[in-house]
Amino acid sequence: MKRVVVIDKDKCRPSKCGNYLCQRICPKNRAGEKCVTVGEDDKPLIDEDICIGCGICVKKCQFDAIKIVNLPEQLREKPIHRFGRNQFVLFRLPYPIPGQVVGLVGSNGLGKTTALMILSGQIKPNLGGSRKIDFSELITLFRGTEVQNYLEKLKDKEIRVSFKPQRVDKIPEKYSGKVSKLLNKTDERGILSGLIARFALEEILDDDIDRISGGELQRVAIAACLAKDADIYYFDEPTSFLDVFQRLEVSKTIREFCQNRSVMVTDHDLATLDFLADRIHVFYGTPGVYGIVSSPYSVRNGINTFLDGYIREDNVRIRPTPIKFESSYVQSTRGGSVLLEFSDIKKTLGDFSLTIKKGELYKQEVLGILGANALGKTTFARILAGEIKQDSGDINRKVKIAYKSQYPRTDFDGTVRELLKSVSDVKTESYKAEVIRPLELEKLLEREVKKLSGGELQRVAIAVALSQESDVYLLDEPSAFLDVEMRLSLASMIRRLVEKRECSAMIVDHDLLFLSRIADRGMVFFGKPGKEGYVEEPMSVEEAFDRFLKEVGVTFRTDKTSGRPRANKLGSKLDREQKDRGKYYMS
């Protein structure tokens, strides 16, 4: 196999392009060969062996439905699974290791979920062909490797599998009734009550599954997965919807309750993955077209390899430039002037009270905001914007705030282009360069807003907020649903905008790596969610991380090679040393 052709059948409209334009313009077809044919579903099929990769059909297709990508020359293996002709194809598999947590990292659409589904027996791999294959054929492919051992046991049903699916928001479609009903069914190890306490689920046990929040669903799903008695536990994106405290608590719990068992986990939060995993497989390729799984690395090398973007064993660059973490930008060195100042502020809203220590916001600064959900972060921003009046305390001026809510929803009827046009001049070159390109929105412009995926809608919502003229941009969890590369590209983009526009940004986020890359200073929210919030003065990012990590009992240090913050494994020598010294974050 030299190249992969993928046709997006949802996008392809043969009747609207003048009747199979791709077929009519294909040079091979014009020379009498059958490169492009029409399948039983009346959609085109492209023969990868005949196709010469000229790309004419790709350029001419107005619906952007065709992708043709050359495979790396070094790739010798046959595919493991293909979803059909001209569909996504996966090469190689990661493999579980007893007693270890194996992490999978890579951009969206590279086959991480597909790999987990294969290893857990939910997808029967077809080795790239459409014929049904015998499981033993697959096992032969992996003869002499670790995968063989695992697949044999899976075939003989000697392995019990427990699986936490990626889309927890879909759980209410499958299960109804009370949370306790779902959880009680899973209690095979006698650890359920412990899990309920750790994940703070007591108060929702009597609630109906379809009434609880995304973060609650996620914790219920993780608890249900862990409570089952299995040899291997699969967690497909356990951190989405969770705040930063919950991410680390969940990670600690998984490690603790899965000692001597196998765990495989995929996530886009690298700081969490780093803390959770012992080993890492990097997924690379072209999203939606093909994915290749790297050999396993130690967790440190795996994440550094992914950030560096060069897979040595395959001699492949997965992105043009490495992702670097300079030590955090220090606001004072950029000499920004004060945008606004506030004295100690108090505000009570119903049962919730918020106490804010005095502080200031500088122009051209990004303030990273850390803390659990429901501690009053939005209330704080609305007070600064003058939308709600504080009970006591002063703010020296009113600023305009553009706001992106935590999980954007929309009932906008129309395309992305129409939505953006309603807030900004989409056509100007600077808008394209500053907003459209970094968020990769070009291809979404003609799509209907209502039909966007979570990650796509997130990017559009960020663009809408950043398109408004404002003094402060407050983005509540912009990293949610985005893959690592997009998170890091977003960080650079926001920094550039803030500097150019001489405004400031407040970024609430639960991804520590993302925050460390974007923030000049940090602010930490403490308290009891929904009851009281307490905010300290803005401080350096290092100090903010230190304060926050002390609360969760996890230590971090800076990685010498990549400059990124790295989690220490609980109980490791560094972890103990740092805790003895009271330094939870060391730069």
Ligand X SMILES: Nc1ncnc2c1ncn2[C@@H]1O[C@H](COP(=O)(O)OP(=O)(O)OP(=O)(O)O)[C@@H](O)[C@H]1O
Applying CB under 6 A, which residues contact ligand X?
A: 83, 87-88, 108-114, 166, 288, 483
Which span sits near Mg ion by CB under 5 A: 16-24, 106-114, 301-309, 316-324?
106-114
Name the H helices within 519-557: 541-552
Cα–Cα distance for residue pair 559/562, rounded to 1 Å: 6
Instruction: Check if the beta carbon of residue 551 is closer than 8 Å to that of residue 581.
Output: no
Cα–Cα distance for residue pair 226/208, rounded to 1 Å: 21
Q: Which does 83 bind (CB under 5 to 8 A by kind): ligand X, Mg ion, none?
A: ligand X
Question: 395-454: which residues touch Mg ion (CB under 5 A)?
Answer: none
- Among the listed residues 135, 116, 123, 439, the one whose alpha carbon sits nearest the alpha carbon of residue 283: 116
CB of 286 to ligand X, least distance (A): 10
CB of 366 to ligand X, least distance (A): 26
Candidates 23, 113, 120, 390; binder of Mg ion (CB under 5 A) is 113
The Cα diameter of the chain in Å comes to: 81
Strand partners for 204: none
CB of 50 to ligand X, least distance (A): 23
Cα–Cα distance for residue pair 65/57, rounded to 1 Å: 10
CB of 87 to ligand X, least distance (A): 5
CB of 417 to Mg ion, least distance (A): 28
- Closest residue to Mg ion: CB criterion: 113
Q: Nearer to ligand X by C-beta: 454 or 529?
A: 454
Q: Nearer to ligand X by C-beta: 123 or 139?
A: 123
Should residue 239 be labelled a site residue for Mg ion when binding is judged by CB under 5 A?
A: no
Q: What are the distances in angstroms from CA 125 to CA 49, 92, 109, 135, 295?
A: 22, 11, 17, 8, 20
Q: Nearer to ligand X by C-beta: 292 or 340?
A: 292
Question: 119-178: which residues touch Mg ion (CB under 5 A)?
Answer: 166
Q: Which residue has the tokens 């090469």?
A: 91
Q: Nearer to ligand X by C-beta: 4 or 544?
A: 4
- Among the listed residues 160, 129, 124, the one whose alpha carbon sits nearest the alpha carbon of residue 139: 124
Instruction: Check if the beta carbon of residue 284 is closer than 8 Å to that of residue 291.
Output: yes
What is the rounded (10 degree) CA torsion for 205, 211, 215, 216? 10
Helix 244-257 to helix 541-552 angle (10° resolution) is 50
Determine the distance from the C-alpha atom of residue 411 to the mean position of all C-alpha atoms in its chain, rounded to a whole number.
24
Binding mask 261-280 for Mg ion (x = CB under 5 A): --------------------
Q: Which residue has the tokens 């350029």?
A: 59
Q: Which does 87 bind (CB under 5 to 8 A by kind): ligand X, Mg ion, none?
A: ligand X
Q: Nearer to Mg ion by C-beta: 283 or 556?
A: 283
Q: Which residue has the tokens 């954007």?
A: 408
Strands 310-311 and 532-535: unpaired
CB of 239 to ligand X, least distance (A): 12
Q: Which does 102 bind (CB under 5 to 8 A by kind): ligand X, Mg ion, none?
A: none
Q: Which does 195 bind (CB under 5 to 8 A by kind): ligand X, Mg ion, none?
A: none
Which span sits near Mg ion by CB under 5 A: 9-17, 113-121, 238-246, 488-496?
113-121
CB of 487 to ligand X, least distance (A): 12
CB of 419 to ligand X, least distance (A): 23
Please give the residue ranges that form the binding site for Mg ion (CB under 5 A): 112-113, 166
